Structure 1
Amino acid sequence: MRENFKSIVRILAKELYDLYDSFKIDAISSNHFKQSEMLEWIGNLGCSNLIECEKIGNSAEGRAIYLYSFGNGTTNILIWSQMHGDESTATMALLDIFSFFSKNHGHTVTKNIEKKLRLLIIPMLNPDGAEYFTRHNAQLIDINRDALALITPEGKILKETRERFRPAYAFNLHDQATGYTVGLTKRLTAIALAAPPFDEEKTDNITRIKAKKVANVFAQIMHQFIPDHIAKWDDTFEPRAFGDNFQKQGTSTILIESGRWQNDPNKFFIRKLNCVGILATLFAIAIGETTSSDTQFYDCLPYNKNLGYDCIIRNANLRANSRVPVVKVDVGINFERKFNKDTRVFELNAKIVEVGNLENFISVEREIDATGKSLDPQRIVIDQIFPANEIDSLFK
């Protein structure tokens, strides 16, 4: 890291990290929430004099989609979150950022961002998906695969917003699936980053290099809080994705994927990292730090590897049927939180994903030492979904 980065952005990032509990929105008690709750939290901030709100369209089911603007600068930055309705971590972080601006209007971070930048924030692009906490929109379409066809109203709104404001930078905020690790290590990926390519050859042009510089600064900020828990997201070109297309169209776009942290089911620690990282990176853009940055730290990040499960049963005995011998196995299980439309409540289910040797895998939430215990072969069915509280009944 360069000394200038250490002395300015790094110090302010640590200050934001330490201040976080003083400005985060305490009313957010779960990462499962609906648009109506989000709007109430924003309204309670009383920051309409600082942050402008504009309705920019409606979702497939008719819910309003809002754009929030902050700053008087000449550099437009588009930030959107929750285009997948069950990926809410960054949405929480963006609301915390609104709160920071409101409670710390005189802070040097707020003042520099307000003076130099114009933030254009869509905190919940897919309110229908958020209503049922599901990835897709109400048309059952993945919005992030609709950048070309534009058959979803949400996708059209995002494209129209970029064309209207022509932002210099964009932040595309997501949650990644359970179990990603930093390369082949057994360390959970807390944050994964990418400067998406605009072609299959992964060519670097001025636009993408600028995005890599932003990702480089963000990664260095994260390094002081979560060293060895930062990875690079798969940068294979996806022609239907918005990030790849915005990069092609001249907006330097950075993808931030919120990963996991042990004993953090609501991802509040990852929410904090997002908030601090985005604020400090925006400050870095405002003072020109990203322009003078290189890309070395980002370029050297290991890629994500999927080497984790929510729960692992280790060293259990399994006789799959009467025709085969008993073997010692591990069982990898993932949890799925689904909204039950009939009962209107969220249910935590489990799914057996893999049986065999999982010594190179890590458990995120629970690990069971089953030495000397035998599994019930009638309950060990790959991909079968069952209530998560029935895991202990997998044994005879």
Structure 2
Amino acid sequence: MNLEELFSQNKEETIKGRYITLEDIEPLLKKESIKNDVKIIGESVLGKPIYSYQKGNGNFKIYLWSQMHGNESTTTKALFDFINLLNSGSDLAKQLLDTFTFYCIPMLNPDGAKLYTRANANDIDLNRDSQNLTQPESKVLRAVFEEFKPDFCFNLHDQRTIFGVADTGKPATVSFLAPSYNEEREVNESRLKAINLIAGINDVLQEYIPGQIGRFDDSFNINCIGDTFQYLGVPTILFEAGHFPDDYDREITRKFIFFALVSSFTILCENDIVGNRNDKYLNIPQNNVAFFDFMFKNVKINYDGIEIITNFVAQYKEELIDNKIIFNAYIVEVGDLEGYFGHRVYDAKKALYKDDYNNYPNQNQKADFNLNGETFFVNGMIIK
């Protein structure tokens, strides 16, 4: 199977970038080709519709949801790419639709998506509300789970650019987790199915992004939806769409999430998750907070009248301004920073740091400065 070609054929070109709202996906849900498979299954805190898409005639039931966190949109894009595949009429689509019934919630948190926030309009993290079910969005997700009775759950998320693959210096472009079902993090039959499937997906993705796949921390938290569903006996996989070099719009990562989805269902079709692949799963390196967006090395700084050579780092804040996501770089730390990496690294070669403030890279200060009055940086990037 040529996954690159498959993605190219099915990519939904009308949605791109990081800011994906209900207004962006509603036209897709109302397309003539899929509207009969779409329902409104509930409302958000602010009364926005929560849509479902259900397709397939198979006995194997798959439950997928995206944008539980409103500012995590990469998997929403990939999910629509996959929906296009299901409606393509191809032999693969027919095989998938004969084997599975897919139940998708493309955007669980439309209010958070509009505000570009993790939480919903009540400032509640829906992924910490799986037990109390205080929010309408959480109740919708749980009601579908109980009515649909899935055989597998796919919990689709994004993760920040700070995550790398262990201490390798490579970004965690895609990460996975088979959530724990108890405090002891034991492996029962249900969790093993998720573990085995992740091991299979990893085998596929390593061909495309070798060394850039991570394993998310499996500490148990029953308030998290994945842990709850795993506890209730349904194999559940957490997807985390992360950073690929220079891909801040996550259009390249989107492709790898699509690869992961297609590979998941191909593996399940072939019943290729039998046995015990826990060792292979555990050999996937863990996610580690190891990256900053910018790292400036060997910078001369005048510190209380003493010149020192040190390093500093800056990180983007994704700020919603006039309905656009603006990446603004702010200085976050100064020091040795041993063990950390930068997605963009600049060696100042002992040039003197200067800025329009106090000639010191203070925390939370915009990354606008110059070196020796000759090399100028605005928003972390060289301008001349």
Task: Compute the TM-score of the two structures, normalised by the length of structure 1.
Answer: 0.88
Q: Does residue 90 of structure 2 align to residue 106 of structure 1?
A: yes
Which residue matches 1:337?
A: 318
Alignment pair present for 1:146 and 2:129: yes
Gaps of 5+ in 1: 1-11
Are 1:348 and 2:348 counterparts?
no
**Alpha-carbon spacing, 1:393–1:243, altered in 2? closer, same or farther (3 Å):** closer
Matched, 1:271 2:254: yes
Q: Quick one: distance in 1 between partners of 2:185 and 2:205?
A: 25
Deviation readout 1:124-162 (Å, 9 max, x if unpaired): 111111112111111111110111121111111111111
Aligned pair in 2 of structure 1 residues 70, 313: CA closer, same or farther (>3 Å)? Answer: same
Q: Report deviation, 1:39.
A: 1.6
Contact 1:349 1:387 in 2 (8 A): no
Task: Encode CA deviations 1:307-339: one digit per residue, 9 max, x unaligned.
Answer: 1111111111123334xx222121111101121
Kept in 2: contact 1:216–1:293 (CA 8 A): no
Bigger drift between 22-31 and 80-89 goes to: 22-31
Matched, 1:56 2:41: yes
Matched, 1:203 2:186: yes
Cα distance in 2 for partners of 1:316, 1:391 equals 17
- The aligned counterpart of 2:63 is 78
For residues 1-396 of structure 1, the aligned pairs below 5 Å read 12=1, 15-44=2-31, 46-48=33-35, 52-103=37-88, 105-107=89-91, 109-291=92-274, 294-322=277-305, 325-340=306-321, 343-358=322-337, 360-364=339-343, 366-371=344-349, 372-376=351-355, 377=358, 380-384=361-365, 390-391=378-379
Give yes or no for contact 2:368–2:378 (8 Å, CA) kept in 1.
Answer: yes
Which amino acid letter does the alignment assign opposite residue 354 of structure 1?
E
* CA RMSD of superposed structures (Å): 2.2
Structure showing the higher helix proportion among its residues:
1
For each residue in 1:171-197, what CA deviation from the matched residue of structure 2 results, as whole angstroms up to 9, or x when unmatched? 111111112111111111111111000
Distance in 1 of aligned mates of 2:367 and 2:70: 23
Note the C-alpha offset of 1:69.
0.7
| CA deviation string 1:66-101 (max 9, x = no partner) | 111111111211111110111000000000011112
State the TM-score, normalized to the length of structure 2. Answer: 0.91
* Number of residue pairs the alignment of both structures matches: 372
Write the distance in 2 (CA, Å) between the matches of 1:306 and 1:76.
Answer: 35
- The answer for unaligned runs of 5 or more in structure 2 is 370-376
- Cα distance in 2, alignment partners of residues 362 and 284 from structure 1: 35
- Matched residues in 2 for 1:225 and 1:368: separation? 27
Determine the C-alpha separation between the residues in 2 that align with 1:278 and 1:271.
11
Percent of aligned positions with the same letter in both sequences?
30
Q: Quick check: 2:178–2:194 contact (8 Å CA) kept in 1?
A: yes
| Other structure's SS at 1:91 match | helix
2:374 — aligned with what?
Answer: none
Q: Which whole-Å CA distance do the structure 2 matches of 1:176 and 1:116 have between them?
A: 31
**Distance of 1:27 and 1:254 partners within structure 2:** 28
**1:351–1:290 distance in 2 versus 1, CA, 3 Å:** same
